[in-house]
Amino acid sequence: MSFDPQRVVELLVCPQSHAPLVYDGQSLVSTDAETRLRYAIRDDIPVMLADEAETVAADEWAELMRQHGRHPETGLPSTDEGVSTATPEEA
C-alpha cells in the first residue's frame, strides 16, 4: 500500500491542537496558527508525535497556508474573497 497524502489529511489531525493538516512534500503541517507544527513522513508513515514535531516559522507557515488555500493568519479555509468566515470549530 502506498502513501496517499490526500487520504491521510482527511483522516488525521494534529495530535496537539486537533487542527486539520495539510500535506507539504515530505511532511504534514498543522493548520493551527498557534502551534504551527510540522510532522515528518518517514518511509510513507506520518510520525504524529508532538514531541518529534518541528515548529514552522510564522512567515513560512503563512506561505504554506496560502499555497493550500487557507487564510495565512488563521489557517482556516479561505473563501473566494480570501477571508474565512468559519470558526476554528467549523474548519
Determine, yes or no, domain membership for 50. yes
Grade residue 13 by pLDDT with cuts at 50, 70 and 90: very high
Q: What distance in Å separates the CA atoms of residue 44 and residue 90, rounded to the nearest whole number?
A: 29
- 14: in domain: yes
Asked if residue 90 has pLDDT above 90, the reply is: no
pLDDT in tens, 39-64: 999 998 899 999 999 999 999 999 99
**Domain count for the chain:** 1
Q: What are phi and psi of 21, to 5 degrees?
A: -120, 155
Average pLDDT over residues 32-36: 97
- Residue 44 half-sphere exposure, CB side, CA atoms within 13 Å? 6
Domain encompassing residue 28: 5-67
Residue-level pLDDT at 1: 60
C-alpha cell, 45:
508513515
Cell reading at 6? 490526500
In a domain, 61, yes or no: yes
The pTM assigned to this predicted structure is 0.82
| Cβ–Cβ < 8 Å for 12, 28 | yes
Give the CATH number of the domain where residue 22 resides. Answer: 2.20.25.10
Beta bridge pairs of residue 70: 77
Q: What is the mean pLDDT of residues 11-38?
A: 95
